[in-house]
Amino acid sequence: MPFTIVRQDITHMQVDAIVNAANPGLVMGGGVCGAIFQAAGPDKLQRACNKLAPIKTGEAAITPGYDLPAKFIIHAAGPIYRQGPAGQNERLLRSAYMASLKLALKKRCKSIAFPLLSSGTYGYPKDAALRVATAAIKDFLADHDMDIFLVVFDRGSFMVSEALLGAVESYIDETYVEARLSYSQTLQNMEWELSPAPMAPPPSKPQAKKAARRLDALMDQLDEPFNAALLRLIDAKGKTDAEVYKRANIDRKLFSKIRTGKGYMPGKRTILALAIALELSLEETEGLLKKAGYALSHSQKFDVIVEFFIVSGQYDIFAINEILFQYDQPLSLIHISEPTRPY
């Protein structure tokens, strides 16, 4: 997955580079910065930083990762909130992300992990900091291929729009709860109807041959395969392959496997990501899922949340991922690890 939000200790991330929420002097601080220095080896990392300091707010510098799993540490200086106009804060924060990504690209990194820059002791509101981070990462991924992780320690480190969260919560309350009651009622009714079925005698040879011919006829009438349906929709929506896999936030190699259709069938979540990228209606989404043998279920919270975004015409995969993360329902297929220790 090109962009994934994970709950983890950033010093444990198995990536090419991690980003340190640095100060312009590149001196060891507290929070994320202190944790990274301690894990990398504080003395040798400080010596390396001293050779690069100072940097300006919005800039980044790179050092070896030393004792970390990551090969590099990119030190990004985000703005202190309230020390300037809102527009300037946003510009400097975005600059810190883009400068870090450019350094990673220069070092040919294939993966990078960010904390939510400036959202700790620098006081940047978490929902606004998240909006800047996702916008910068989204713009970068439009032109480059890289696995980018946004690492948060817990839900308190991560906030999305209260208005959007409230709208999703209302939709879940109206749809998910009713479905559960309906499903429970159906099960109760089924329990009364279930009874042992009598064993049918084995078919005779003529009957078996007739059944085989019927099966062959049915096989000849198979519906359009999934990959053909997907390609047809891509053409109908006037999109390119690159637009689709980038908007779906899926890897190019995975998309290539799906496209060829040689014995590979994507999972339900990947298909939903493709539906979001293609901006399909609910009916079109259900049709595409059916081609792969899946269906949306109102007894699954994940399905209800994605359905909300489709019904409301909101097709931003990053915004959907943020809401799903709040409900421990990541759209990405990458495992969300639990943290092992606080910063």
With bands split at pLDDT 50, 70 and 90, how would you rate the model's confidence at 272? very high
Instruction: Indicate whether 310 belongs to any domain.
Output: yes
Same domain membership, residue 173 and residue 115: no
- Same domain membership, residue 128 and residue 238: no
Contact between residue 18 and residue 70 where contact means Cβ atoms under 8 Å apart: yes
User: Is the residue at 136 inside a domain?
Assistant: yes
- Considering the domain architecture, whether residues 151 and 238 belong to the same structural domain is answered as no
pLDDT in tens, 75-122: 999 999 986 676 899 999 999 999 999 999 999 999 999 999 999 889
**Does a structural domain hold residue 262?**
yes
Q: What was the pLDDT predicted at 333?
A: 37
* Residues 297 and 166 occupy one common structural domain: yes
For the whole model, what pTM was predicted?
0.72
Angle subtended at Cα 12 by Cα 60 and Cα 246, rounded to the nearest 5 degrees: 65
d(CA 75, CA 102): 12
Same domain, 140 and 38: yes
* Statement: residue 189 has pLDDT above 50: no
Q: DSSP of 12-46, one letter per residue?
A: G--SSEEEEEE-TT----SHHHHHHHHHH-HHHHH
264 lies in a domain? yes
pLDDT at 48 over 90: yes
Q: Decide if 335 is inside a domain.
A: no
Q: Are 49 and 101 part of one and the same domain?
A: yes
Give the list of residues 6+ apart from residue 192 with CB closer than 8 angstroms, or none: none
Our count of domains for the chain comes to: 2
On whether both 125 and 244 belong to a single domain, the answer is: no
254: in domain:
yes
Tens of pLDDT, residue by residue over 276-294, are 999 999 999 999 999 999 9
Per the domain annotation, does 61 fall within a domain?
yes
Same domain, 133 and 11: yes
63: domain range? 3-157
Whether 29 maps to a domain, the answer reads: yes
Q: What is the pLDDT of residue 172?
A: 73
